[in-house]
Amino acid sequence: MATSNDMQVIFGTGPLGLSVMRELVRQGKRVRMVNGRGKADLPAGVELIASDAYLVENTRRVTEGAAVVYQCAQPRYHEWAEKFPALQASILEGAAANGAKLVIGENLYMYGEVDGPIHEGRPYNATTRKGKTRAQMAEAALTAHRDGKLKVTIGRGSDFFGPQVLDSSLGERVFAPALQGKTASATGSLDLPHTYTYIDDFGKALVSLGEDEEALGRAWHVPNAEPLTQRQLITMIFDEIGRSPRMSGMGKFMLRIGGLFIPEARETVEMMYEFEKPFIVDDSQYKRTFGDHATPLRDAIRATVAWYRQHLQADTA
C-alpha cells in the first residue's frame, strides 16, 4: 500500500482527475497533477506541471518518484480515434520506466451494445469508433501488465455527473437550465433505467484500486447508486432546486443537426444506443471486494446543484 510520503501523479485536470486529487488530498498524499496548459484551480500543496504527455520523455520526467500514476487524461472527444491510443501509450511508458503502478479511468464503450446488465466479463464487442478505441487501449494496458512491464488496474464508470462535470449527458445541459428555470435537455429516452456514476465515487474508487494489490491485472466497474430513468433523476434535480420539472429528450436527428456545427455532438450520435434501451451496470464485483461507497443519489444531486449554482454565479459576475 502506498504511504503518505509516496508521490501520486495524475494525468489530466478534468473532472475525473480532480476527483482523484480530492480523495488523495483527503488521505494526506503528495499529489502532482499534469496537463498541457499548466493552469488549473488546485488547492494549496498540490503540484501542477505543464507537459506534453504525447512525448515519452516528458511522461518519464513527470512520473519520476511516483508510486502510483493515475491516467485520467484524454484528447477532445472527436479526436479519440486519432490521438487517444498514443496518449495513453506514452503515459504507460513513463510509468513503466519509473516502476510506478498505473491506474486507468475508463468508461464502458468497449462493450458495445448489450442486452442485460453490463459486467466485467462481457466481451469487447464495440462497433463504434470510440468503443473500438477504448477496447484497443484496454487490451494494450492489460497486456503490458501480463507481460510484466508494469502493474496495471482499470476502473470503469458509466456516464458521470457531479461537481465540475460539464460535458456529460447529465451535465451542463441538464443542471444549468434547471437552475435558470428553463427546460433541461436530456439525451435519448427519458423513461429507460440508466446507471449514472457520481464523479467523486469514481475518483475514490480509482484511489482504492491503486492501493490494493488484489485490484491488479483487470478492470473493475466502480460503485454506483441504483439506476433510475432520466425522468426520475431530472425530477430529483428540480426537486432539489425547488422548481417544477421541465425536460425534453434529444434524439439522433437533433444531434446530427447539432453535429453540423459542434464536433462533440456529431460524435455523440454513435453512442445513442446507451439511451435507447435500459443501460444497467453491474458493479457487484467491486462492492464485494472493496466495499460499497456509492453516494446516495439525493446527496450527489444536492452537491452537484450547489456546485452548479456557484459556477453559474461566477459566470455572471
pLDDT tens per residue across span 242-291: 999 999 987 664 556 665 456 666 677 788 999 999 999 999 999 999 99
Enclosing domain of residue 209: 7-159+196-221
**Residue 97: is it exposed, middle or buried by C-beta count within 10 angstroms (0-12/13-18/19+)?**
middle
**Residue 160: is it exposed, middle or buried by C-beta count within 10 angstroms (0-12/13-18/19+)?**
buried
Pairing of strands 196-198, 30-35: unpaired
How many domains in the chain? 2
Q: Indicate if 184 and 136 belong to the same structural domain.
A: no
Bridge-partner residues for 233, per DSSP?
none
- Classify residue 316: in a domain, yes or no: no
- Classify residue 1: in a domain, yes or no: no
Low-confidence ranges of the chain (pLDDT < 50): 1-4, 253, 260
Q: Indicate if 25 and 88 belong to the same structural domain.
A: yes
Q: 106, 136, 137: which is closest to 120 by C-alpha?
A: 106
CB-based contact 57:109 (threshold 8 Å): no
Rounded to whole angstroms, the Cα distance separating 301 from 298 reads 5
Q: What are the angstrom distances between the C-alpha of 287 and each of 169, 220, 223, 290, 294? A: 25, 10, 6, 5, 9
Q: Indicate if 189 and 215 belong to the same structural domain.
A: no
pLDDT at residue 301, as a whole number = 98
pLDDT at residue 1, as a whole number = 45
pLDDT at residue 268, as a whole number = 75
Q: Indicate if 253 and 304 belong to the same structural domain.
A: yes
Q: Indicate if 130 and 213 belong to the same structural domain.
A: yes
Instruction: Write phi, then psi, for 43 (nearest 5 degrees).
Output: -70, 160
